[in-house]
Amino acid sequence: MKYDLHIHTHFSRCSAIKPDELLRIAKERGLDGIAVTDHNTIEGGLNVSKLNHDPNFKVIVGAEIKTEYGEILGLFLNEEIMSREFFEVIDEIHKQGGIAIAAHPTALFRRNLKHPCIELEGRIDGIEGFNSRALPYENYKAQKTALKFGFGMTGGSDAHFNYEIGRGYTIFKGDLRHALKTGDTQLDGSILYAPVGGLLSFFKKRIWL
Ligand SMILES: [Zn+2]
Ligand SMILES: [Zn+2]
């Protein structure tokens, strides 16, 4: 299975991806599934999930929640996450049966994980080891941290624009939750256009709207 586990749609102000185009492009690029993770809302995920009628393509409803210690990707959600407090957000995600992943934990110029990893064992379900908007050093450091503390790892594009869809992904066999628990995920992708994406989001948020 090849899933891009971090994608935004136009339900995020910094993204221009349309739900129907997301489905079409994700399949064209050979993905078996995606997680839609808009900023602080599951609206985009619900939308894309409703549009998907392909039994061979999986849409995971998620959100990327901003907290005081960094951003958390909540996957497999059914309801909006109300809290913006790090540990409360994780609890809310788990109460829904979802999984909590620390997004771009080692980012230098974006919100990174500001909580000691040693105290997160057993609380978070994994960390994002590959983000296509990250610098090589950031991804390297994230993967090293995951290995050190025994966290599962995900990979995703953090796409905000069509060209970014599928530029980061997670490869696993069987059930994603199980693969994360046993550390059996592989991550890959390309960071070639990483700086371009950040700039486009900056302009989308401040000028286009
Ligand atoms: Zn964004
Ligand atoms: Zn994101």
- Give how many domains the chain has, as a whole number: 1
64-97 pLDDT, tens per residue?
999 999 999 999 999 999 999 999 999 999 999 9
Closest CA to 113 of 157, 73, 159: 73
Strand (E) or helix (H) holding 200: helix 194-203
Q: Report pLDDT for 208.
A: 60
Whether the full predicted model's pTM is greater than 0.85, yes or no, is: yes
List the domain range (segments joined by +) for residue 65.
2-208
Q: In the structure, what pLDDT confidence band is assigned to residue 193 with cuts at 50, 70 and 90?
A: confident
Cα 106 to ligand 1 centroid, rounded to whole Å: 17
26-68 pLDDT, tens per residue?
999 999 999 999 999 999 999 999 999 999 999 999 999 999 9
Cα 47 to ligand 2 centroid, rounded to whole Å: 17
Cα 103 to ligand 2 centroid, rounded to whole Å: 7
Look up the CATH number of the domain holding residue 122.
3.20.20.140
